[in-house]
Amino acid sequence: MRVSNRKRVMVTGGAGFLGSHLCERLLKEGNDVLCVDNFYSGTKDNIVHLLGNPHFELMRHDVTFPLYIEIDEIYNLACPASPVHYQWDPVQTTKTSVLGAINMLGLAKRTKAKILQASTSEVYGDPEVHPQKEDYWGHVNPIGIRSCYDEGKRCAETLFFDYYRQHDLDIKVVRIFNTYGPRMHPNDGRVVSNFIVQALRGEDITIYGDGSQTRSFCYVDDLIEGFLRMMASDHEVTGPINIGNPKEFTIRQLAETILKMVGGQSSLILKPLPQDDPKQRQPDITVARNTLAWEPQVALEEGLQKTIAYFRECLTR
């Protein structure tokens, strides 16, 4: 018999960039939060400020192995999300997406928990449709250097929808577009952190390609709000739903904006585009607007200001 009315919520990958912000928000919402992480790309520094909270618990665990606990909601964020990290051990990356999904779905089935899958815009690959809508099936290389992540996440979505159809599991699938903010890893190879760290160190800013490729950047607080609204939605709202900022910028525009905000004398250096790097990425968020009444609130320069301040402090420690 349950004594507390608090929801028991588990966040896999909870010590990562997104996971730590989600754990923090869930605690503020009055939940008991279990953070599960194997610390492959996450770090205890991201959640150390939560360790004294009696409603927060940390467990070192790899989701490729089953987990036997009692839970009400599961946010499955476990998987390295930057090319530097997921290409370091591509086999383990695929295992984390696929076996992790199987294990978390099995746990949700046993406990009758709601479960949210943090999927990715990478399921669209190098898209031939622009902007990307949820009904677009994608243009993905299944045997390239990014495939461990792209196809692993696509397979995880397949598993989620098969569990929904076969077992009527309460699933939620969100496709995350480029997200940035405090607690990003300074060496994760993502464009926002790369540019900020290089500018703060006075190094030349490295642009891969000619800088004309586009991305859409969502501040982390907006993304977490989207997660919570999706989890709170009705049973028939399964997704997939794009969560991201539809305002599109070229990589060169981003570099010039960051350089202007940081100051300094850094130059822009062009290098060859990596294999299978998408030329454009922009979410159509019509479904999120209509279904979740969600859209991003934080403008790029406002979010960059907070992110630059975070990295400035990190680099002086």
Calpha distance 309→43 (Å, rounded): 19
Q: Give the whole-angstrom CA distance, residue 179 versus residue 190.
A: 10
Q: Which residues contact 158 (CB under 8 A, 6 or more apart)?
A: none
Distance (Å, whole) CA 38 – CA 55: 20
> Whole-angstrom Cα distance, residue 195 to residue 204?
9
Q: Give the residue carrying structure tokens 């320069």.
A: 301
Q: Which two tokens stand for residue 101?
A: 């999904």
Residue written as tokens 């907006």? 222
Tell me the pLDDT tens digit for each residue of 148-162.
889 999 999 999 999
CB 159 within 8 A of CB 310: no
Could you report the per-residue pLDDT of 44-89, keeping only the tens digit for each? 999 999 999 999 999 999 999 999 999 999 999 998 776 776 788 8
Residues forming the active site: 149
Which 3 state secondary structure label does DSSP give 177? coil
Domains of the chain from N-terminus onward: 8-180+218-245+282-297 (3.40.50.720)
Amino acid at 172: K
Ranges in the chain, pLDDT < 70: 1-3, 82, 85, 275-277
